Amino acid sequence: MNHTSYLFFDCECANCFDGEGKICSLGYVLTDDEFNIIEKEDVVINPKCEFDWYILSPKNKCQLAYSKDYFRIQPDFAAYYKDIKKLFTTGNRKAFGFAVDGDVSFVNTACERAGVDYIQFAALDIKPALENEYKEKMKLAEWCEYLKIDISGFKAHRSVDDAEMTMLCCKALCEKLGITGDELYTKMHENVYSWEYMLDVMEERRIKKEFKAKIEKMMNKKNPFPTKCAITGKQVEIDRNIMHDPESAYEIVKKVYDHGGMIVNKLNNNGYCIIQSHIPSNVRQKYESRNNKIITLDELDEVL
C-alpha cells in the first residue's frame, strides 16, 4: 500500500533583489502520515550571488544560521537538484510550509538560475490554516509558543528547524481539529500553492515592475515634444487607487505626458487631480482651494 508521507520545508535566501529570492538553504522534515519523523536535513547551498548586507548585519533580528564563508564552500543548487526533485515528487507525498508561497517561488527561481526543469509540486500553507482556526496572526516561533510547543533547542531561521516547527504546528492543528494531514490538505485546498500558480504570480509581478519603471521615467518631467498641447505645463496628480494597477496607470500617465502635462506625486496649484470615481468632500475642498481641478477618468478625454 502506498502510504502518504508529509514533507515540511523552509527556505532561506541570500538576497531577494529584483523580487527574486536566491536560496542559500532548504531545510526539510519528512514524516509518515502520523507525523513521525523519517528523516530531516538542512541542505546548505552556495547561492552563487551576493548576500544582502542587511541579513548578515548584527542589526538584523533574523540572522542566517551560518556564516557567509560557510555558504560559499557548499555545492550550488544544481548539484542538489536531483535529490531535491526526488524529495518533492516521490510517491504519495504532500508538502507543507509556513507562508509557503514565497518558498515555492524560491524553488522556481532556483531552477531557473540553475537552468534545469521546474520541480512540479504544490504545498499547503499552514499559516492561514492556523489563523483561520485560532483567529490570531503570528510568526512561526510565536505560534509554537502559543500552542505550547517546546522549541528551546531550535534555532530560528535555520531552515530545518523552521521546517520542524512548521510540522509541530501542523500536527497540533490536526489534533485539535481531529483530522489527518491529508484531510487538512483537502479542507484548506484554497491555500495550496503550486509551482505553476507561483510562476504566474511572478510573471504578474515582473510585468507590474516593468510598467512601474516606465511610469517612473515620466514622473516630474515635461515632454519636450508633446503630440498635443491641451495641458502643456500643467501639473497632474493621479489618485493612488489608480496607480495601484501599474499596467492601467501607465496608459493614463503616457496620455498626460503626450499632451504636455507633468505627472507629480503631490499637486501644487492650478493643476489637475485625476481620480477613479469619488473622493471625500474635505479632500476635494483641499485641492480646489488651490485652484486645482478634480476630474474622473471618464472626464479625462474631455479635458484632453
Nearest-angstrom CA–CA distance, 215 and 250: 6
- Is 134 found in the same domain as 14? yes
Report the first-to-last Cα separation within the chain, whole angstroms. 71
Residue 214 lies in a domain: no
Which of the listed residues 205, 233, 263 is the one where a domain comes to its end? 205
Q: Are 64 and 42 in contact (CB under 8 A)?
A: no
Q: Are residues 199 and 235 in the same domain?
A: no
**Average pLDDT over all residues of the chain:** 92
Mean pLDDT score, 265-292: 85
Q: Identify the helix (H) or strand (E) that includes residue 80.
A: helix 77-89
CA triplet 81, 84, 87: central angle to 5 degrees? 150
pLDDT of residue 229: 75
- 238 lies in which domain range? 219-303
- Alpha helix positions (H), 191-245: 195-218, 240-243
Distance in angstroms (rounded) separating the CA atoms of residues 259 and 273: 15
Where do the DSSP E strands lie in the chain?
5-13, 23-32, 37-44, 93-97, 122-125, 192-194, 235-238, 262-264, 272-275, 293-296
- How many structural domains comprise the chain? 2
Over residues 291-304, the mean pLDDT reads: 86
- Please tell me the predicted confidence (pLDDT) of residue 79: 98
281 found inside a domain = yes
pLDDT of residue 227: 80
**135 and 283 housed in the same domain:** no
Q: Give the model confidence (pLDDT) of 225-239 as tens digits.
A: 888 777 888 999 998
In a domain, 171, yes or no: yes
Q: So what's the pLDDT on residue 120? A: 97
Of the chain, the percentage scoring pLDDT greater than 90 comes to 71
Looking at residue 154, its amino acid is F
209 contacts: CB under 8 Å, gap ≥ 6: 19, 246
CATH number, domain of 236, equals 3.40.50
Out of 205, 233, 264, a domain closes at 205
Indicate whether 55 pLDDT > 90: no
Specify if 114 maps to a domain.
yes
Task: Quickly list DSSP for 180-191.
Answer: -HHHHHHHTGGG
In angstroms, the CA 191 to CA 196 distance is 14
Query: Taking 90 as the threshold, does the pLDDT of residue 57 lie above it?
Result: no
User: What is the model's pLDDT at position 283?
Assistant: 78
Question: Is residue 1 predicted with pLDDT exceeding 60?
Answer: no
Over residues 4-49, the pLDDT tens digits come to 899 999 999 999 998 889 999 999 999 999 999 999 999 999 999 9
Is pLDDT above 70 for 209?
yes
Mean of the pLDDT values across residues 110-130? 97
